Amino acid sequence: MYLPQNVIRQKRNKQILTKAEIACFVDGLKNGSFTDAQVGSMAMAIWLNGMSTEEVVDLTLAMRDSGTVINWNNALDKPIVDKHSTGGVGDKVSLMLAPIVAACGAHVPMIAGQGLGHTGGTVDKLESIPGFNVRPSLPEFQALVKNYATAIISQTSDLAPADKRLYSIRDVTATVESIPLITASILSKKLAAGLESLVMDVKVGNGAMMADLPSAQALAHSIVSVANGAGTPTQALITDMNQPLGTTVGNALEIQETIDYLNGKYQEPRLHEITIALASLMLLTSNLAETLPQATTLAEEALSSGKAAKIFGQMITAMGGPADLLTNSENILPKANVIQDIIAPKSGYIGTMDTRAIGMALVEMGGGRVDHNQGLDYSVGFSHIKPKGSKVDAGDVIAKVHAKDAAQANLAINQYLAAIEFSDNEVEVEPVIHQLIQ
């Protein structure tokens, strides 16, 4: 038995923790033998002094094993693969990606999160669908994945509970940005789903957790090396978050964009590029395709044939949502009371977009949360967002705001315009995909 203060001292003194010491810390997270003050001290020691890859593998596996680890017990006859994003604004990729990859012959058990701060959450988007149950029991989740090839659910309290406590303390001790702790937090939850392979989408830019490329590269390398060290083949794409992804920001609006995307009505180019790239990697890592061109063709065909849309619709219905969502979404999804145009104040090009500020404008409208227990207004947000680099004339509509009343709409319009710079000259736009980390 190790004393908590001795384990903390080891890391404070820049020592490598043994597997047993890490297990002691994770047990202490779960059973309370590490007080909140000791957990905070340990998190700060890790933040300051880092961890080796082997230490992070041990921490990840111990946190994974602190709760239920789903064992599919050969119940699934197809590869089991998932994707995780580090989060951003307008990032609804999971909603398209899961049915596309499922349509290509994989099982995609996706355990998603709520939004917090400026970043949106896949769970919140799905909860804007009337009747949709994002918290089925574990046996129900397993049956859904078996029957429909994919299901997207909220993280349950029995999956990686040690991480839940550690995360809540990191949040109030200024240790959230530690790469070893981010890595272990993400992977402990993902690996608890019993995956055979994983693809990461690591966002970089002013709307991402990692604002610059070196930080994003460090996180991507950490996740890939730790996941592979833990026995789950993993690759990562570093993708751009210097502007919102797609044309919408806001829960019900992003579900509508997902439906339009899957139905082939409109596929915003940057959103489409990332979705197909991630789908292709998932098909490669799960051995459903042998080459990248073959994987890309399979993903595009799953989309254009309508097969992905059909699987999405089946999943929605099986999880309590309306059977006619894909054909009648305009009458089903929550609608804001006020919809107003956001007008370009001058002619030129849309330059720098403060993506975080746009995300926080949604939070102020009630469409995002600063506290995990906060309720949401699913109807509010922004749509018809013109991308960075667009040439506009004074008076052009550059976005629309969806608000509960005129006062909220006017405030949000001012916040949106304050988050955008207009340039007289053409603007260089960052590539959508920066790098593949293998």
341 and 320 share a domain? no
**Would 200 be classed as within a structural domain?**
yes
| 384: containing domain | 334-423
Active-site annotation holder among 122, 128, 232, 355: 122
pLDDT band at residue 134 under the 50/70/90 scheme: very high
Catalytic-residue membership of 170? yes
pLDDT confidence bin for 372, thresholds 50/70/90: low
Let me know whether 110 and 188 are in one domain.
yes
Task: Inform me whether the pLDDT recorded for 371 exceeds 80.
Answer: no
Q: Which of 92, 190, 388, 402 is flagged as catalytic?
A: 190
CATH number of the CATH domain containing 380: 3.90.1170.30
Catalytic residue among 85, 154, 178, 232: 85
Last residue of a domain, one of 297, 313, 328: 328
Q: Which residues contact 415 (CB under 8 A, 6 or more apart)?
A: 357, 358, 360, 361, 364
pLDDT above 80 for 186: yes
Same domain, 172 and 111: yes
Residues 257 and 112 in one domain: yes
130 and 256 together in one domain: yes
In this structure, the answer to whether residues 240 and 120 fall within a common structural domain is: yes
Angle between helices 355-364 and 406-418 (to 10 degrees): 170
248-275 tens-digit pLDDT: 999 999 999 999 999 999 999 999 999 9
Residue at which a domain ends, from 328, 354, 377: 328
pTM of the model: 0.94
Residue 218 and residue 348 in one domain = no
When pLDDT is cut at 50, 70 and 90, the band that residue 132 belongs to is: very high
Residue 190: active-site member: yes
Domain count, the chain: 3
Question: Residue 27 catalytic?
Answer: no
Q: Cβ distance 247 to 383 under 8 Å?
A: yes
Residues 158 and 285 in one domain: yes
Per the residue annotation, which of 83, 118, 270, 386 is the catalytic one? 83
196 with 305, same domain: the answer is: yes
Task: Name the CA radius of gyration of the chain, rounded.
Answer: 22
Q: Can you say how many angstroms the Cα of residue 64 is from the centroid of all Cα atoms in its chain?
A: 19
**Residue 55 located in a structural domain:** no
pLDDT reported for residue 198? 97
Q: Are 69 and 111 in contact (CB under 8 A)?
A: no
pLDDT at 171: 80
Q: How many CA atoms lie within 13 A of 191 on its CB side?
A: 28
Question: Looking at 185, 239, 258, 383, which residue is catalytic?
Answer: 185
304 is catalytic: no
95 neighbors 258 (Cβ within 8 angstroms): yes
142, 286: one domain = yes
Q: How far apart are CA 112 and CA 95, in angstroms?
A: 10
Does the active-site annotation cover 83? Answer: yes
Domain membership of residue 72 (yes or no) is no
Q: Are residues 373 and 314 in the same domain?
A: no
Domain boundary among 313, 328, 343: 328
Q: Catalytic residue at 185? A: yes
Active-site annotation holder among 189, 270, 386, 388: 189
Domain membership of residue 164 (yes or no) is: yes
In a domain, 74, yes or no: no
CATH code of the domain in which 113 resides: 3.40.1030.10
Percentage, residues of the chain above pLDDT 70: 99
**Residue 343 in tokens:** 């007008």
Active site residue 118: no
pLDDT of residue 374: 77
pLDDT at 110 over 70: yes
State how far the alpha carbon of 83 is from the alpha carbons of 197, 206, 249, 286, in Å. 9, 22, 21, 12
Catalytic residue (one of 170, 388, 400, 402): 170
Catalytic residue from among 41, 66, 82, 150: 82
Query: Is 65 domain-assigned?
Result: no
